[in-house]
Copies of this chain bind each other. A is one copy, B any other.
Amino acid sequence: MEEALVIGIDVGGQSTKIGVIDIQGNIKAQSVISSLQEDINSYMEDLTKAIKALIAKTGKISQFKGIGIGAPNGNYYKGTIDSAPNLKWAHDPQGNPLEIQLSEMIKDQIGLPTVVTNDANAAAVGEMTYGAAKGMKNFIMITLGTGVGSGIVIDGKVVYGHDGFAGELGHTTIIRDGRQCACGKKGCLETYTSAMGVARTAKEKLNNSSIPSILRDIDIDSISSKDVYDAAKKGDKLAIEIFDYTAKLLGQAFADFVAFSAPEAIVLFGGLARSKEFLEEPILKYMNENLLGIWKNKIQLKFSLLKDSDAAILGAGALAWDL
């Protein structure tokens, strides 16, 4: 019998990764195209070319069950990308956001059933199927990257809600009237606990204190969360304080998320989650301080076991098995 395969696609702000996945979750082949094209036609041309090349390389079209795509603002119900701020080809030449019929276009070009979801949901499915949340039916995946995203799993299923947009936990309010967020609101969790949020905290703490720090040797406007991590590694007190503050807000937020869906675990994912050694202990401490008695010391905190792009490709692909 022919081996069954699916294609998983992770649409990122910089690049789009495409992988061919077998039933065991092995990525049998993959390729990458740029996400930086100006218009949707040239992006689609590159994407379909890359998909066709991968199919030709790994098998016959009849082996492929479908295509799963994880994309910013991907909508599961509509199969669209809806006004994704960081993708130029998702806007008209005047810069107005478009609703891209991604699922339909791919299906037309490749001839395989196609499903779209947002990138955090895809990563959650990846972790549930192959990673840190394997075997769990109730967990919340928080992606700590440039922004803060989330994928919520209840009873073994991703929560999409009434309109397909459920799970925007990065835009819940952690500090009322706090930092300005790109979404237009103020004090969103994302403004404090994304990689950019950590850089903003660093800038604030450097400006508002005189604590000595090796971060003072870096141009203040170019400090990144990676710089803070490197400094913390060297025992820098201020850098460790920055992580502690980040962990405090995450712990407070997680306590409220737990009150919603009573998950078995919170799973952290994305670039900033690699700073586990400076985040794990304080997040647990602050979360437990803020949890109701019934949940104290009972909610696990997990860090992703998969490479970031792998989780998204594997998760998007996993959705395609059901097509």
Q: Which of A201-209, A287-295, A310-318 is the contact stretch?
A: A287-295
Q: Mark A276-307, 1 if CB is under 8 A from B, else 0.
A: 00000000000000101111001000000000
- Please tell me if A161 contacts chain B, counting CB pairs below 8 Å: yes
> How far in angstroms is the closest Cβ of chain B from A245?
14
Q: This chain: how many copies in the complex?
A: 2
**Among the listed B154, B162, B292, which residue makes an inter-chain contact with A161, where contact means beta carbons less than 8 Å apart?**
B154
- Please tell me if A169 contacts chain B, counting CB pairs below 8 Å: yes
Q: Residues of A within 8 Å of B, CB-based: how many? A: 42
> How far in angstroms is the closest Cβ of chain B from A152?
7
What are the residues of chain B within 8 A of A92 when measuring CB–CB? none
Kindly report which residue of chain B lies nearest to residue A152, judged by CB atoms.
B260
- Please tell me if A173 contacts chain B, counting CB pairs below 8 Å: yes
> How far in angstroms is the closest Cβ of chain B from A116?
16
- Please tell me if A321 contacts chain B, counting CB pairs below 8 Å: no
A165 in contact with B295 (CB, 8 Å): yes
* A162-B256 contact in complex given A185-B292, A293-B183, C-beta closer than 8 Å: no
- Please tell me if A138 contacts chain B, counting CB pairs below 8 Å: yes
- Please tell me if A17 contacts chain B, counting CB pairs below 8 Å: no
A184 in contact with B262 (CB, 8 Å): no
A159 to B162, CA, bound (A): 15
A157 in contact with B155 (CB, 8 Å): yes
- Please tell me if A257 contacts chain B, counting CB pairs below 8 Å: yes
Query: Which residues of A line the B interface, CB within 8 A?
Result: 82, 137-138, 152, 154-155, 157, 159-169, 171-173, 175-176, 183-185, 252, 255-257, 259-264, 290, 292-295, 298
